[in-house]
Amino acid sequence: MSDISFTSFCHWLKFRHLLLIDTLGRTGNMHLAAEQMSLSQPALSKMLREIENQFGFPLFERLPRSMPPTALGGEVVRYAQIALNDARGFVARIDSLRAGGHGHLRVGGIFAATAVALPQAIISIKKRWPLLAIEVVEQTSDHLMEMLKARTLDLAIGRFTEPQQQQLFDFRPMGPEPFCLVVNRRHPLAGQDRRYSLGELLAWPWILYPQGTPIRRQMEEAFATAGVATPHNTVETISMQTFLQVLQGGPMIGMLPEAMAAAHLHGGLLSVLNTDLRLAPQEYGVLTRRSEPLTEIAREFMALLLEPEQEALTET
């Protein structure tokens, strides 16, 4: 099998080929893929054979009831998804500019960022670019980096969760993210002028970020350092709306970034617990794809996020 040269790859590969690969990768079924692409099944089969002949290896297995990607085919499917997402973003930007707009910005953020840093930057950039279309995604850091890798985001605010991610993304720090333990104002522990041991707090139900998230790992490490088992009576969610609603509606204990809890504390809806738990602040910042230039809008938005007054705001 001969190697695939970049020049020949550019000459024969077409977007309709990528669309076929992506559609078949999602459906795993030739009939469904043909329907979604408005092609006959024989025409789709012929196109797939031509693509596989050019690559020199099969992209999909031919099983009786499905067509999963082969090991190499999986890499091709991922490339097709990334290329098509990039093309969709390009088309959306061109359409917006042609209609008199100023492009489209897709931004992701961890929960603390969407509570303070992102809204302030959005307000500032909309003053400069009133017709700019902005899409905001709230997710955990690991999911945000998957979206960055797939080019469904222009940039994100989060933190590294695995060492190898530092090879794929550039990181520009924005500041530390301190945490606190909180309960609602009707909780029996609220407003008590005393320090609670972690053992006492284990008697209550907790609402937590899911296992594997940086915040959850930090809490588990703090409990382990204190020699106390982590809570067993728990509710886990990445939905901040669910987190806050459950926390305010029942006798739960929750761990939240201070920036996110601040408005609820000032409004008297939540109360901070004075405990022995010591949680070191985690630094978060702007994540972008390494060695890939940002659009003008994305560069300006990142500059707004990194302004000194913005950093000071996120630390309050």
Report the distance separating Cα 47 and Cα 174, nearest Å.
49
315 pLDDT more than 70: no
Query: Looking at residue 100, what is its pLDDT?
Result: 61
From 33, 31, 13, select the one nearest 23 (Cα to Cα).
33
3-state DSSP assignment of residue 254: strand
Q: How far apart are CA 203 and CA 70, in angstroms?
A: 50
At residue 313, does pLDDT exceed 60? no
Q: Which residue has the higher pLDDT, 30 or 308?
A: 30
Segment 219-239 shows an average pLDDT of 86
The structure tokens listed for 223 are 């409990």
pLDDT band at 101 (very low <50, low <70, confident <90, very high): low
pLDDT of residue 29: 95
Looking at the predicted structure, is the pLDDT value of residue 2 above 70?
Answer: no
Mean per-residue pLDDT, 134-155: 92
Tens digits of residue pLDDT in 19-30: 999 999 999 999
pLDDT band at 286 (very low <50, low <70, confident <90, very high): very high
pLDDT, tens digit, for every residue of 180-214? 899 999 999 998 888 888 888 888 999 988 887 77
More confident of the two residues 52 and 102? 52
- Checking if the pLDDT of 311 tops 70, the result is no
Q: How many CB atoms lie within 10 A of CB 161?
A: 16
- Average pLDDT of 252-265? 84
* Average pLDDT value for residue range 42-63: 95
**Taking residues 259-287, what's their average pLDDT?**
84
